[in-house]
Amino acid sequence: MITALGMMSGTSLDGVDAALIRTDGRRIEGFGRSGFRAYGDNESGLLHSLLGKWHGDPGVADGAALSEAAHAELAADFPEAQLLGYHGQTFAHDPGGRGTHQAGSGARLAQMTGRSVVWDFRTEDVRRGGEGAPLVPFFHWACADWAVGQGLLERGPVAFLNLGGVGNISWVDTRLPAPEAEGACLAFDTGPANAPINDLLRARLRMSRDEGGALALSGCVNEAIVRDFLADPFFRRPPPKSLDRDRFAALSVAVAPLSDADAAATLVDALASAVRAGMEWLPEAPGSVLVCGGGRHNRAIMQALSAKLAPKVMPVEAVDMDGDMLEAQAFGWLAVRVLKGLPISGPMTTNVPEPVCGGRISHPRGYGNKAAPRGL
């Protein structure tokens, strides 16, 4: 078993999550402590300005340096970690086109921290014809398997709904022996989640989010806008499928004439309606829908999901998991899988033709001149 530190800075651009996990890359032995390093207004503003940018574009090097420094700063608080999983900061994602762009070098982070780093998780999947996202479904299978072992879930299908900047769903079946087994996982992006809501609050009210969903709960849904949104061909496209953060920019344009409250309420209804549309692609109804990511703190979102979905909707804390840190934990688990040469994506998660072990491994200077940490 290896103690890995997974680190994640998502499309919400609020900061860096870090969480320890103990695993052999297959089963989860246990979850450890976690931490968060917030981005200041200037840092968040820089990262926002680089969305949609690619390697070599003006400002990207500054964004990469910020990502590396922030992650190194947070990693210093976890000296017990034997291995770091570094996702980097996604600025652009265009599978089938220009590829995928996560800014930040794991090689530089290894030198900064003096520890081995697994990074660049998505590029190989995209190179082989996959969507490059979502990458957490195999981990969600391992989480469900862990919860079964703890007596918190029944063995069988369960859905994890991650609501970050973009929404994605993982349908996992623990009746199968491993996440890469045929039929064990199906995953795809459902549509926009927190990103358009946060952008609305940022632009209009200089707030980072709709705290608790209070604004959305006070508004009225514009059903015509939601109907137009659901007419997008994305929702008729079979999974697996993935989205760039700003793929549905037209939705933000459509709510622009509405009041603050009505715009927020409409964006929440669009989020929940997109999830309902996505549920129709699942091979079997899940026993429950476990919600993780920042969206589960928004009461308007949780109420909308409960109203629109048949399975019971509950935060992952109901099965003793940390919904704020699940994605960071995922990249710790994935880092160990890469180290062991195990697949991290497959045909029914990213639409890649065959299971892929992506990622790069970078060691600090002098690594080869001393014994590797136990387990590595």
Candidates 140, 86, 132, 143; CA nearest to 356 is 132
**Tokens (6 digits) for 300:** 């308007």
What is the distance between the alpha carbons of residues 19 and 31, in angstroms, rounded to a whole number? Answer: 8
The model's pTM: 0.88
Answer yes or no: same fold for 2-134+325-369 and 155-319.
yes
Share the mean pLDDT of the chain: 92
Residue 160 pLDDT greater than 90, yes or no: yes
Q: What is the pLDDT of residues 8-59, one digit of tens each?
A: 998 778 899 999 999 999 999 999 999 999 999 999 999 999 998 999 999 9
User: Residue ranges per domain, the chain?
Assistant: 2-134+325-369, 155-319
* Overall CATH class of domain 2-134+325-369: alpha beta
What is the distance between the alpha carbons of residues 368 and 272, in angstroms, rounded to a whole number? Answer: 50
For residue 279, how far is the Cα from the chain centroid?
A: 18
Residue 234 pLDDT greater than 60, yes or no: yes
Predicted confidence at residue 74, as pLDDT, reads 98
- Contact, 127 vs 98, CB < 8 A? no
Candidates 95, 92, 86; CA nearest to 125 is 95
With a pLDDT cut of 70, the percent of the chain lying above it is 98
Output the DSSP codes for 77-109.
T-TT-SEEEEEEEEEEEETTTTEEEEES-HHHH
Residue 374 pLDDT greater than 60, yes or no: no
Q: What is the pLDDT of residues 95-153, one digit of tens each?
A: 878 889 999 999 999 999 999 999 999 999 999 999 888 889 999 999 999 999 999 99
Predicted confidence at residue 369, as pLDDT, reads 53
Q: What is the pLDDT of residues 309-335, one digit of tens each?
A: 999 999 999 999 998 899 999 999 999
Parallel/antiparallel/unpaired status of strands 288-292 and 157-163: parallel
Output the DSSP codes for 182-220.
TTSEEEEEEEE-HHHHHHHHHHHHS-SS-GGGHHHHTS-
Residue 375 pLDDT greater than 60, yes or no: no
Beta bridge partners of 166: 192
- Contact, 31 vs 322, CB < 8 A? yes
| pLDDT band at residue 372 using 50, 70 and 90 as cut-offs | very low
The tally of CA atoms less than 13 A away on the side-chain side of residue 213 is: 20
Q: Which residue has the higher pLDDT, 375 or 229?
A: 229
| pLDDT band at residue 209 using 50, 70 and 90 as cut-offs | confident
CATH of the domain spanning 155-319? 3.30.420.40
Predicted confidence at residue 153, as pLDDT, reads 95
